[in-house]
Amino acid sequence: MTLRPFHLAFPVDDLAAAREFYGGVIGCPEGRSSDKWVDFDFFGHQIVTHLSDEAGDRMANPVDGRQVPVPHFGIVLTMEQWQDLADRLTEAGTDFAIEPTIRFKGKTGEQATMFFRDPAGNALEMKAFADDAMIFAN
């Protein structure tokens, strides 16, 4: 089975800030747009930022001793891509909800992860596995 791209639309309160963050900081190419929304190529997937007064949510759940923002979305990168992005986000002065770290160290599902919010408050998680076979392992 060939993995098909997912599509995710979510609210932002400032399209210019969304363009700078997703296009500039994260490096997502911009697709179609209007004065109310912008499409981005999110590592081969389509995300759409929609202008709204109701952006960002602030719930959290405990995972591996940390408060993980919920809801959140992200992508599973290679370790090299993850480190490059972590470096780029750190250099850009990103305020991490959870700093780049290794979670579940020495256990099934060990992963590099980081959580941060876009300018509208939407939570993102970027992660990587040393072994992609662990993505769905119990």
Do the domain assignments include residue 34? yes
pTM of the model: 0.85
Backbone angles phi, psi at 44, to 5 degrees: 95, 0
Question: Could you read off the pLDDT tens digit of each residue along the chain, which spans 138 residues?
Answer: 578 889 999 999 999 999 999 999 999 999 999 999 999 999 999 999 999 887 666 777 778 788 888 889 999 999 999 999 999 999 999 999 999 999 988 888 899 999 999 999 999 999 999 888 888 887
Q: Is residue 1 part of a domain?
A: no
* CATH code for the domain in which residue 18 is found: 3.30.720.120
Distance CA 123, CA 83 (A): 19
Backbone φ/ψ region at 132: left (φ over 0), alpha (ψ -120 to 50), beta? alpha
Task: State the residue range of the domain holding 113.
Answer: 59-134
H or E element in which residue 81 lies = helix 79-91
